[in-house]
Amino acid sequence: MATNKHALIRFKALDKCFRNIGRQYFMEDLIEACSQAIYDYSGIITTVSRRQIFDDITYMESEDGYRIELDRLKSGKKVYYRYNDPNFSIDNLPLNTKEEQQLKEELLTLSRFKGMQHFNRFRGPFNQSRDFKEGWMYDVEQLKEFYSK
């Protein structure tokens, strides 16, 4: 669990590094960026391992991951990493089938709390008036407003 616990945080940090064409990100830089992102998110001081970064890159390149196209460019004896297309970002990809199913299941779980006093603060962002197959519809603007508070 420990290595996968912060996987999305690492993926976002790697995505940010790979998009930055103004800097060369070597393995040490990727480790530092991921470790800093985890600290910024959770306050946990940790050093992500080299092996974990390689595994994350492999996953991000895979069909199960984000199918990124990554260039490995040499600078002397070291290798730095960047996207083949500088305009690419994992944030711009649509949800895949697995993510869409997970989102539907999570929204269905949240629907169980409807009407419970402790969970009234979550009521605003969700709109159950329209049925989206077996899940909930949600208002993106209300969700943004809710999470910006």
For the chain, the structural domain boundaries read: 2-91, 97-148
Q: Retrieve residue 132's tokens.
A: 């989206």
Q: For residue 117, name the pLDDT band (cuts at 50, 70, 90).
A: confident
Segment 49-66 shows an average pLDDT of 95
149 pLDDT above the threshold of 90:
no
Segment 28-50 shows an average pLDDT of 96
User: Per mean pLDDT, which range of 59-73, 114-128, 130-144 is the poorest?
Assistant: 130-144
Distance CA 113, CA 149 (A): 21
CATH domain 2-91 topology: Arc Repressor Mutant, subunit A (1.10.10)
How far is the CA of 31 from the CAs of 48, 53, 59, in angstroms? Answer: 6, 7, 16
67-102 residue pLDDT tens: 999 999 999 999 999 999 999 999 999 887 877 888
Cα separation of the two ends of the chain: 30
What global pTM score does this model have? 0.71
Distance CA 90, CA 67 (A): 9
Segment 25-30 shows an average pLDDT of 98
Which residues does residue 71 pair with via DSSP β-bridges, in sequence order? 82
Give the per-residue pLDDT at 147: 53
- Under 8 Å between Cβ of 127 and 139: yes
